[in-house]
Amino acid sequence: MSRLIPHSEQRTANDQMIKSPRGTRDLLPPDTALWNFVETAVRDVFRAYNFHEIRTPIFESTELFARGVGEETDVVMKEMFTWEDRGRAESDRGQSLTLRPENTAGVVRAYIEHKLWDRGLNKLFYIGPQFRRERPQKGRYRQFYQIGAEVIGPAAAGSQSPARDAEILELLATLLDRVGITQWTLELNSVGSPADRAKFNDTLRQALAPAVEKMCADCQRRAITNPLRVFDCKVPEDQPIIETLPTITQFLNDDSRAHFEAVKQILNAVSIPYVENPRLVRGLDYYTHTAFEFTHGALGAQNAILGGGRYDGLSEALGGPPAPGIGFAIGEDRLVLSLTASAESVLRKPDAYIAPLGAGMNREAARLARELRRHDLVIDLGDESFRLKKSFETADKMRARYILIVGENEVAANAFSLKHLASGEQVTVPRAELAQQILRK
């Protein structure tokens, strides 16, 4: 005989708690106040540098990343969320799609698709989620957020100038300063032109030949297909071998050197400190010339708060016209982790909590709330069924500055009791003067 089990006692596989997928997380208040603080500040900075927002799709065709980011990169080989479209239309079916692991390829695709070269130099920024199937740890997630920018356009519009590289780096210093992050180090390198890299790759292949058998399987493959990617290896046993490899610096031709020198001269002129790191090659294949990362000591193993560089050949690799470009992406999760400001300190608390007292007062409270919110005040309100004590407790808990009582007598007099919660001071204020009184801190 089956027994009816009360719903609250049922424990079947079906009602086990559903959690967010591994490597993803919910951002909840009050922490979201920090995210908003960061995003508002960076939008202000972008405005000052005449950058404009671009929003590209969260998924793109897989080929975009294979061609743009590079087949041999860890991102493309191991980390992408890719699926085959099951669309009803014949044209969709079987198309391989991928959640974007980064946004530069998408921006350059949009540049080509919309012929943005007609606009001269494009200074674009984006804020949004990216997806990589990485092993989750502090500062490393499978859905993470980037704040990025790209400067791209025809060479005639100045896109190739070292002044653009320096402007991007100076913008970043300003931006970090603006959100209160001071403990950063700018690591700078030049990965040269494609021709410089071809020479470097040949030399690397030779240098790796005697040792490669002792290295990890990934490095054995990289040594043949794309030796530069050996520098991305994280396997501890391989590091002594990697440390003996030559660096790209000695393979830079005169133009590459001149470009790098010009960037550094402007940085010196605007007093942006940097350290040169000849082993910094970045994990994505599209980079040419300037490559950089900003690191932050407090972040632990995942210490790169942002990365970027120049990608003068990317547009052509994606079937577009020559369009030199440079950009960066900040890991917003990591930026928020390194903030010294607390969520509490940037959270805007209610200016007033309205306590409707007794039947029929909800509608009076709603009218008053509507009037006060028009003055850019943050207003929250309770319910006419609450006792005054409960309203006070609620107002206290949300740390409202004032509590405003709306009862029958107040409505009749068109004047309301306004109590300052911290000092306990209480005054009766005519309706027309309420907003002014609340604005007075």
Residue ranges in contact with ligand HAM by CB under 6 A: 102-104, 132, 134, 139-141, 144, 146, 148, 150, 283-284, 304-309, 311, 327-329, 331, 333-334
The residue count for the chain: 441
Nearer Cβ to ligand HAM, position 117 or 311?
Answer: 311
Q: Which helix (H) or strand (E) holds 275?
A: strand 275-276
Write down the least CB distance from residue 146 to ligand HAM, Å.
Answer: 5
Classify residue 61 by burial, with Cβ atoms within 10 Å: 0-12, 13-18, 19+. middle
CA torsion angle for 337, 278, 291, 331 (degrees, to 10)?
Answer: -10
Chain position carrying tokens 């006060």: 372
Residues β-bridged to residue 125: 53, 149
Nearer Cβ to ligand HAM, position 127 or 304?
Answer: 304
Write down the least CB distance from residue 436 to ligand HAM, Å.
Answer: 46
Q: Rounded to whole angstroms, how far apart are CA atoms 31 and 313?
A: 40
Nearest residue to ligand HAM by CB is 331
Nearer Cβ to ligand HAM, position 150 or 364?
Answer: 150
Nearer Cβ to ligand HAM, position 284 or 365?
Answer: 284
Q: Check if the beta carbon of residue 93 is closer than 8 Å to that of residue 55.
A: no
Distances from the Cα of 430 to the Cα of 43, 166, 213, 391, 413, angstroms: 40, 57, 85, 21, 8
Q: Rounded to whole angstroms, how far apart are CA atoms 222 and 218?
A: 6
Write down the least CB distance from residue 31 to ligand HAM, Å.
Answer: 16
Per 3-state DSSP, what percentage of the chain is helix, strand, and coil (rounded to 5)?
40, 20, 35
SS3 state at 134: coil
Write down the least CB distance from residue 209 to ligand HAM, Å.
Answer: 29
Distances from the Cα of 185 to the Cα of 33, 104, 181, 274, 303, angstroms: 26, 23, 11, 7, 10
Q: Rounded to whole angstroms, how far apart are CA atoms 428 and 362?
A: 20
How many CB atoms are closer than 10 A to CB 430? 11
Nearer Cβ to ligand HAM, position 149 or 395?
Answer: 149
How many CB atoms are closer than 10 A to CB 156? 10
Write down the least CB distance from residue 330 to ligand HAM, Å.
Answer: 6
Write down the least CB distance from residue 287 to ligand HAM, Å.
Answer: 7
DSSP 8-state symbol, 4: P
Nearer Cβ to ligand HAM, position 73 or 201?
Answer: 73
Cis omega (within 30 of 0) on the bond before 162?
A: no
Sheet holding 288-296, edge to edge: 52-53, 122-131, 143-152, 325-331, 304-310, 288-296, 184-190, 275-276
SS3 state at 125: strand
Write down the least CB distance from residue 68 to ligand HAM, Å.
Answer: 9
Nearer Cβ to ligand HAM, position 274 or 311?
Answer: 311
And the tokens for 327? 């950009």
Write down the least CB distance from residue 96 to ligand HAM, Å.
Answer: 21
Write down the least CB distance from residue 383 to ligand HAM, Å.
Answer: 42
Nearer Cβ to ligand HAM, position 256 or 288?
Answer: 288
CA 175 to chain CA centroid, nearest Å: 13
Q: Rounded to whole angstroms, how far apart are CA atoms 434 and 107?
A: 49
Nearer Cβ to ligand HAM, position 305 or 357?
Answer: 305
Write down the least CB distance from residue 435 to ligand HAM, Å.
Answer: 43
Q: Check if the beta carbon of residue 280 is closer than 8 Å to that of residue 194.
A: no
Nearer Cβ to ligand HAM, position 293 or 384?
Answer: 293
Nearer Cβ to ligand HAM, position 252 or 330?
Answer: 330
Write down the least CB distance from residue 150 to ligand HAM, Å.
Answer: 5
